[in-house]
Structure 1
Amino acid sequence: MNAINVVLTSSDVVVDGFCSSKCGTHSSLRSRAAIKGKYPRFAYIWVGNSETQCPGQCAWPFHQPVYGPQSPPLIAPNNDVGVDGMIINLASLLAGAVTNPFGNGYFQGPAVAPLEAAAACPGIYGKGAYPGYAGDLLVDATTGASYNAHGSNGRKYLLPALYDPSTSTCSTLV
């Protein structure tokens, strides 16, 4: 089953465990339907809604953080703190699901608490990042929004750094 199922949580849905150190998760399940006599595994991603639950944790750097340095939040590139926060979390989880879909792929540390491609680089979005500072980012001249990636139809996004095993560093887009 060459797909990753993605569930995005609506703002009116409360998810048990959300905010207790995670803004979403990825894992895998076995299919309930046999294909050629086998029950294949498939990967999934769940992303919580960072607008209504834990925005200081799950929508940072577009929302004031819960703890740490209290510098002003960045302006969200799509003018929606919750959705832009969800995009960051979706990108992080997608990197983990692609490189470690079944818990036996690429990760650092113990399997019970793996550091995956994006989890190894928390809060890093641009060069020069440090705790409380997302790094040197591109800034839209019209809106003042911070971003590091261009999407289709002129959309701009902030995507997390990924761990590069060849250099043992966090690699950013800008």
Structure 2
Amino acid sequence: DVYVQDFCGQVCGFHYFTFPSIVGYTLPYAWAGNSQKLCPGVCAYPFAVPEYIPGLKPKKSPNGDVGVDGMISVIGHEIAELATNPLVNAWYAGSDPTAPVEIADLCEGIYGTGGGGSYTGQMLEDHDGATYNMNGIRRRFLVQWVWNHVVNYCTGPNALDQ
């Protein structure tokens, strides 16, 4: 196993870029970790619940792997931010460029219609109780929503549209 600084404490994934002075070119990249062993309640929510939310039951992961299903949402989160802020100097909310709130950070924990606060929003459940909001090829996924600057609220795969 490889341990990445701040994983499970401050981040579940991140994006950044390489420096031309070190590798010869600028290349944006993203990283997401599998939290199954170390911190599923932190990085695989809502398939695992943090200890600080007593009584909340975890949702069943759509592919039977809490760590990887949690990573899917983190990967989507980081790709959205990588596309809109590849060099960490482009789109962000807030007035402090040293602590940007990016497009996916604004919608952390929102997975469906009505989400916000501690409510994840409306999500679909399949015949065996697994929770998802997006269909893939022979797989289902739960991905968090991202900020839509055109309508000024979080948008994403909508359980109401299925």
Q: Compute the TM-score of the two structures, normalised by the length of structure 1.
A: 0.83
Closer, same or farther: CA 128–69 of 1 in aligned 2, 3 Å: farther
| Aligned with residue 30 of structure 2, among 25, 30, 45 | 45
The equivalent of 2:118 in structure 1 is 132
| Aligned with residue 166 of structure 1, among 150, 159, 162 | 150
1:22 equivalent in alignment to 2:8: no
User: Structure 2 CA distance, aligned partners of 1:71 and 1:54?
Assistant: 16
What pairs with 1:71-90 in structure 2 (closer than 5 Å)? 71-90=56-75
Q: Compute the TM-score of the two structures, normalised by the length of structure 2.
A: 0.89
Closer, same or farther: CA 74–89 of 1 in aligned 2, 3 Å: same
Q: Which amino acid aligns with 1:171?
A: T
User: Structure 2 CA distance, aligned partners of 1:163 and 1:147?
Assistant: 19
The equivalent of 1:116 in structure 2 is 102
Q: Which structure has greater helix proportion?
A: 2
Unaligned runs of 5+ in 1: 1-11, 34-38
- Contact between 1:137 and 1:148, CA under 8 Å: does it hold in 2? yes
SS at match of 2:75: helix
User: Structure 2 CA distance, aligned partners of 1:60 and 1:70?
Assistant: 14
Unaligned runs of 5+ in 2: none
Equivalenced residue count is 156
